């Protein structure tokens, strides 16, 4: 009996060894498949949980894809005027020399929160032209430009698309903020806004303005209409006046760092 038991055990051992030998490749392949699935699943989880990079980086080709803007500095403009006699120069007001969005924002909230109708409301313009510019912020680029033109002895005009009102304090606000001597300063011209018409062109011609600074397309085209030199000042990105214009779209000069 004992001999029979050991004989059976010996036979079973060889049968098991033979079975494992024949099926080892299948077992190995099955284990490999399980390991591969586990690895792929781990990678997928890692990718899903990993945040995308905040800075995707750049390369030389991307850096070269910049619009061919004619950038100029205030110093370069001054240098281009060297030797020329004093002349009449003009400035737009809103987003050119003043960041006046606070007043326009208040006007919208007060008179037409859901639309731009406040711009057609005479009451708004009475407020804006008679005190609300106290909340406007003078732009640094305007300080530099006006100082340069005052040193040259140029006559300084401000031509705005704002609607005219019976009274206005804008002229005094600008003269005070930019320290413009009375000999250089002229009262603000309120050209208004008329559909299909560039209301500034005629004023630039009447005042013989040779250089006109502005942030909008209309400012540049008004200057070109009368043969003046139109120079773009950048509109601040947080201006309430949207959409932002495409500076340099007409091939005009654009002042660097002029958004503030």
pLDDT of residue 29: 52
- Does residue 94 have an active-site annotation? yes
The answer to whether the annotation marks 165 as part of a ligand binding site is no
The answer to whether the annotation marks 219 as part of a ligand binding site is no
Q: Give dist(CA 193, CA 164) in Å, integer.
A: 10
Which three-class secondary structure string do you get for the chain?
CHHHHHHHHHHHHHHHHHHHHHHHHHHHHHHHHHHHHHHHHHHHHHHHHCCCCCCCCCCHHHHHCCCCCEEECHHHHHHHCCCCCCCEEEECCECCCEECHHHHHHHHHHHCCCCCHHHHCHHHHHHHHCCHHHHCEECHHHHHHHHHHHHHCCEEEEEECCCCCCCCCHHHHHHHHCCCCCCCECCCEECCCECCECCHHHHHHHCCEEEEEECCHHHHHHHHHCCCEEEECCCCCCCCCCCCCCCCCCCCEEECCCCC
The answer to whether the annotation marks 215 as part of a ligand binding site is yes
Q: Residue holding tokens 């340099």?
A: 248
Please give the CATH number for the structural domain made up of 67-255. 3.40.50.1000
pLDDT of residue 197: 85
- Does residue 225 have an active-site annotation? no
β-strand pairing of 70-72 with 98-99: unpaired
The answer to whether the annotation marks 217 as part of a ligand binding site is no
pTM score: 0.77
pLDDT of residue 194: 87
**188 token code pair:** 């603000």
Residue of 155, 161, 90, 97 lying closest to 129 (CA atoms)? 161
71, β-bridge pairs: 254
pLDDT, tens digit only, all 260 positions of the chain: 433 333 444 444 444 345 444 454 554 454 454 444 444 444 444 444 445 556 777 776 665 566 789 999 999 999 999 999 999 999 999 999 999 999 999 999 999 999 999 999 999 999 999 999 999 999 999 999 999 999 999 999 999 999 999 999 999 999 999 999 999 999 999 999 988 889 999 999 999 999 999 999 999 999 999 999 999 999 999 999 999 999 999 999 999 999 99
Exactly one of 94, 95, 154, 219 is catalytic; which is it? 94
Phi-psi region of 179 (alpha: psi -120 to 50; beta: other; left: phi over 0): left
Exactly one of 92, 95, 133, 219 is catalytic; which is it? 92
pLDDT of residue 25: 52
The answer to whether the annotation marks 18 as part of a ligand binding site is no
pLDDT of residue 177: 98
């Amino acid at each position: 009996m004992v001999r029979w038991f050991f004989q059976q055990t010996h036979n079973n051992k060889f049968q098991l060894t033979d079975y494992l030998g024949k099926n080892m490749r299948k077992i190995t392949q099955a284990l490999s498949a399980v390991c591969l699935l586990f690895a792929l699943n781990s990678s997928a989880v890692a990718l899903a949980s990993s945040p995308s990079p905040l800075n995707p980086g750049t390369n030389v080709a991307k850096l070269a894809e910049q619009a061919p803007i004619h950038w100029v500095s205030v110093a370069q403009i001054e240098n281009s005027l060297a030797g020329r006699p004093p002349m009449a120069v003009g400035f737009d007001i809103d987003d050119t020399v003043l960041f006046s969005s606070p007043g326009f924002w208040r006007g919208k909230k007060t008179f037409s929160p859901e639309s731009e109708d406040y711009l057609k409301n005479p009451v708004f313009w009475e407020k804006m032209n008679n005190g609300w510019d106290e909340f406007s912020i003078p732009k640094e680029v305007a300080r530099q430009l006006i100082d340069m033109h005052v040193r040259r002895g140029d006559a300084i005009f401000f031509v705005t698309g704002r609607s005219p009102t019976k009274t206005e304090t804008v002229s005094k606000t600008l003269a005070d903020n930019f320290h413009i001597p009375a000999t250089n300063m002229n009262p603000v011209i309120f050209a208004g806004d008329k559909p299909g018409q560039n209301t500034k062109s005629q004023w630039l011609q009447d005042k013989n303005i040779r250089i006109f600074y502005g942030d909008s397309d209309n400012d540049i085209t008004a200057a070109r209409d009368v043969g003046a030199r139109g120079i773009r000042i950048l509109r601040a990105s947080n201006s309430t006046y949207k959409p932002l214009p495409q500076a340099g779209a007409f091939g005009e000069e654009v002042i660097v760092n002029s958004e503030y």
